[in-house]
Structure 1
């Protein structure tokens, strides 16, 4: 699986799995199984723990952790070491050119980038998809995915990290 060969629905599933788990999260995962069978091994673990534990792990990985956030799902955090950096502005411009706009989240949030990639694939906007991949995703997503696998306390997030990492193979010149 690479970004170029990934079905847009798979990209949307990955984007959705980055969101904070809500009350219906387990039911949503069960519904995703036909399209994402790789989720199956993670379900027993999530069924055994309280939702609050899953939410706490999500918060620790992606939102707030002391002394350092292990896996900020934002390009600016990885590339500029800050939130809402230059990358966010560049992506907002790319979205405008595609006729899109990031709503309620920073433009450089990984879930938004994956949703954008799905849209660009569906609409045949290959040049913008190539720009999104080469000038943005390839520059930080392999590190993010590796960090997620390395720091996750739940198998669900390790599996998610491997799936995201498979989208863009790591290359030595993007270390």
Structure 2
């Protein structure tokens, strides 16, 4: 059996996909204490203005020109559009776990999905293990390695290159359930 990723690492990755704000640098410092792979990115983030980090986040994930290189949504990667079947399928998984996706975000947003996987890992009951296996093998390994690779190639910040590399490693297609 392949070792499962720690829920804390999945939550850290989810947090790093969020839009950077005034408190984000301090949050990364805190995460780096338990996520040593983040330590090398701190020096760069400490010397870059927040506006540069925010612009890179926007370019990569929200509205890059002439295209957005890394939309963090399963539907975009699996179907070439937002709000596709992948979002509906994942919303169904959340419902079967007694949860709902984050308000205002599609159910297939990667940050929400990573939080959901962490929740299932922490529950640890047989139903959660089945849902985690379905999420991992039926959804995540189908697109996150390509997302991570693209993020690693496209990012101008070491932070997002490190996130891309970490996502590739965690979602390489091996079972974690």
Into which bin does the TM-score normalised by the smaller protein fall? Answer: over 0.9
TM-score by length of 1: 0.93
Q: Secondary structure at the match of 2:81?
A: coil
Cross-structure match for 1:57: 56
Show structure 2 runs of 5+ residues with no match. Answer: none
1:114 equivalent to 2:124? Answer no
Distance across 2 between alignment mates of 1:153 and 1:33? 20
Q: Secondary structure at the match of 1:5?
A: coil
Q: CA 1:99–1:17 in 2, change beyond 3 Å: closer, same or farther?
A: same
From 128, 144, 147, give the equivalent of 1:144.
147
Distance across 2 between alignment mates of 1:23 and 1:50? 10
**Could you list the per-position Cα deviations for residues 22-57 of structure 1 after superposition, in whole angstroms to 9, with x for gaps in the alignment?**
101111111112211111111111111110000000
How far apart are residue 169 of structure 1 and its match? Answer: 1.1
Cross-structure match for 1:127: 130
**Could you list the per-position Cα deviations for residues 53-88 of structure 1 after superposition, in whole angstroms to 9, with x for gaps in the alignment?**
000000000000111110010000001110110100
Show structure 1 runs of 5+ residues with no match. Answer: none
Aligned pair count reads 170
Confirm or deny: 8 A CA contact 2:137 2:173 kept in the other structure: no
